[in-house]
Amino acid sequence: METNKLPLLIEPDIIEDSSSYDNLLIVDLNKAETYLKMHIPGAMHLDYLRIIAGNKPVMGLVPDDAVLTSLFSALGIDADTHVVAYDDEGGGRAARLCWTLEVAGHQRYSLLNGGLHSWANEGHSTEATPTPPTAKTFQLARNPEPAADSAYISQQLNNNDCRLLDARSPDEYNGIKKFAARAGHIPGAINMNWTEAIDTSRNMRFKSDDELLALLTPLGITQDKEIITYCQTHHRSAHSYMVLKHLGYERIKGYPGSWSDWGNNPDLPVE
């Protein structure tokens, strides 16, 4: 079966028989020990740290083109590959992979709704034997649209057409917890903890579209605005980015580096 019509947010039942799809690659972003105990049959393991780069104290940056090209080629991704990403933490690491693929110019990807929780808890088969990758040639074409940097954000601080969505905990947002030189948040940013979008009663899936919009709309996170998501390193906020993309928001960006970048730069304003 063709993969070009697979949805962004995909249910376990759809990929139960993954071998029936042409060019489908399932990528597991769990810890290695979890993968070796249990994973979706045929899934490739990918260490989350391989899809991020750092320049301490700034972390969560996008690796350079050569690193991403080598990594995605070795994993077995080419222009025809449809990637389905999952993890066991509610989708943060998997969402960051999806966002990184988009930055690298690859649009064919899905996020498994609920990840390993929905898959395993709803009776789908698992295996413990690692699956070796089959290398392909990944052609990277860097796409600037999904990413924002501090310079771009600085220009939007007084722009009523743009909203900043801070996906960290309220304590981080309010400056009670500090994981950078400075505490607080980007001026004007609105806080919605990324976990608010997760339905723990349905195996860590996204909450329903109506529930998500009921959370976002009163905060001014509406589809007529440009929305920039950030957290500490654009891990949690990658999940928020995918929530917005799933809901049909068209003007969305993620901030690699996030607060580890902004909060450690004394030249940038803080609330």
Q: Quick one: CA torsion of 100, 232, 90, 220, rounded to 10 degrees?
A: -90
- Give Dmax over CA atoms of the chain in angstroms: 54
Tell me the chain's radius of gyration from C-alpha atoms.
18
Tokens matching residue 32: 């290695």
Q: Which of 270, 191, 271, 196 is nearest to 231 (CA)?
A: 191
Respond yes or no: is residue 162 known to be catalytic.
no
Specify whether the CB–CB gap between 259 and 180 falls below 8 A. yes
Dist. CA 230–CA 166, nearest whole Å: 5
Q: Are 119 and 221 in contact (CB under 8 A)?
A: no
Q: Which residue among the candidates 27, 85, 180, 231 is catalytic per the annotation?
A: 231
Q: How far apart are CA 202 and CA 266, in angstroms?
A: 42
Other beta carbons within 10 angstroms of residue 37's beta carbon come to: 11
- Here the tokens at position 253 are 């960006």
Catalytic residues: 231
